[in-house]
Amino acid sequence: MAWSGAGFGGLASGRSELLAAFKERSDWEVELGFGKGRFLLASAAAAPERPFLGVEMVSKYFRLAARRAGARALDNLVLLRGEALYLISTLLPAAMARTVHIYFPDPWPKSRHHRRRLLDPRTVDLVLALLEPTSGRLCFATDHVEYGEAVVETLEAHPAVDVDLLPGAWPEGPRTNYEAKFEAEGRLIVRLMAGLRPDAASLLHPVGRESILVAPAADQPASTSFTSS
């Protein structure tokens, strides 16, 4: 993992300092797979009082965005190079984000690869765990209609999530490089926003939940599916 960013008055480069900064606030704007960083850099520059975190696994893009962030002296932006689901599992605290942004993620079209998708029944709870439970929002867009439909289905099947499909573009226009390119090409784009239901934020997606087994308690059968409440 590499990271970049002076971040709120000069963090040292250690894991514990990063963790402390992430835990300090629950209103982070987090983008997973930021590519060349158009949305993240513009958003961080427009709202210097708010904290932004970008995660990108390709070094070339990470370095490009880090250079641009440095040139603009963005003190409210932290960039991490690494795989998003790994970083969520190992470093990023639950409930840190006001918004998680995922734009034009890799669709992994082969069904044996679906579990690598950032939003799949088996991964969605990792991403949702980042959201602050009362006001956290997920913003998502893709030009891959099959993946878009699968994400809508995944979120609509989730007992803790309310989904709003956007009928058209974001009010401010294309957010990312891919969005600008695909919109100019006239491609169909699926855009949605989703939030957690306050009374159900701890519930898990049924597919993920049913894969968890609990070792037997004295008065229970040998193994039983985990049910969250």
Ligand X SMILES: C[S@@+](CC[C@H](N)C(=O)[O-])C[C@H]1O[C@@H](n2cnc3c(N)ncnc32)[C@H](O)[C@@H]1O
Q: Could you tell me whether strands 97-103 and 28-32 are parallel, antiparallel, or unpaired per DSSP bridges?
A: parallel
Smallest gap from Cβ 107 to ligand X, in A, equals: 9
Span of 22-30, 151-159, 171-179, 212-220 interacting with ligand X by CB under 6 A = 171-179
Residues 91-110 that bind ligand X (CB under 6 A): 103-106
Copy the structure tokens of residue 125.
């709870």
- Which of 55, 127, 130, 203 is the binder for ligand X (CB under 6 A)? 55
Smallest gap from Cβ 96 to ligand X, in A, equals: 17
| Residue 160 near residue 128, CB atoms below 8 Å | yes
Residue with tokens 């993920």: 208
Span of 6-14, 53-61, 131-139, 197-205 interacting with ligand X by CB under 6 A = 53-61
The contact pattern for ligand X, residues 172-191, with x = CB under 6 A and - = no contact, is: ----xxxx------------
Smallest gap from Cβ 38 to ligand X, in A, equals: 6
Strand partners, 162: 195
Smallest gap from Cβ 199 to ligand X, in A, equals: 31
126-144-161 Cα angle (round to 5): 35
Q: 105: alpha, beta or left, given left = phi > 0 and alpha = psi -120 to 50?
A: beta
- Which of 27, 75, 83, 183 is the binder for ligand X (CB under 6 A)? 83
C-alpha 129/C-alpha 125 separation (Å) is 6
User: Is 75 one of the catalytic residues?
Assistant: no
- Which of 84, 130, 194, 196 is the binder for ligand X (CB under 6 A)? 84
> Where in 111-210 does DSSP place strands (E)?
137-142, 161-165, 190-196
| Binding of ligand X by 57 (CB under 6 A) | yes
DSSP 98-129: EEEEEES-----SGGGGGGSSSSTTTHHHHHT
Residue with tokens 């894991």: 15
Residues 108-147 that bind ligand X (CB under 6 A): 118
Look at the alpha carbons of 101, 82, 212, 229 in this order and tell me if their dihedral is positive or negative: negative
Residue with tokens 């797979």: 33
Q: Which is nearer to ligand X, 126 or 131 (CB)?
A: 126
DSSP helix/strand/coil, 73: coil
Span of 33-41, 46-54, 159-167, 208-216 interacting with ligand X by CB under 6 A = 33-41
Judged by CB under 6 A, the number of residues near ligand X is 21
Smallest gap from Cβ 174 to ligand X, in A, equals: 9
The site for ligand X (CB under 6 A) is made up of 32-35, 55-58, 61, 83-85, 103-106, 118, 176-179
**Active site positions, annotated:** 106
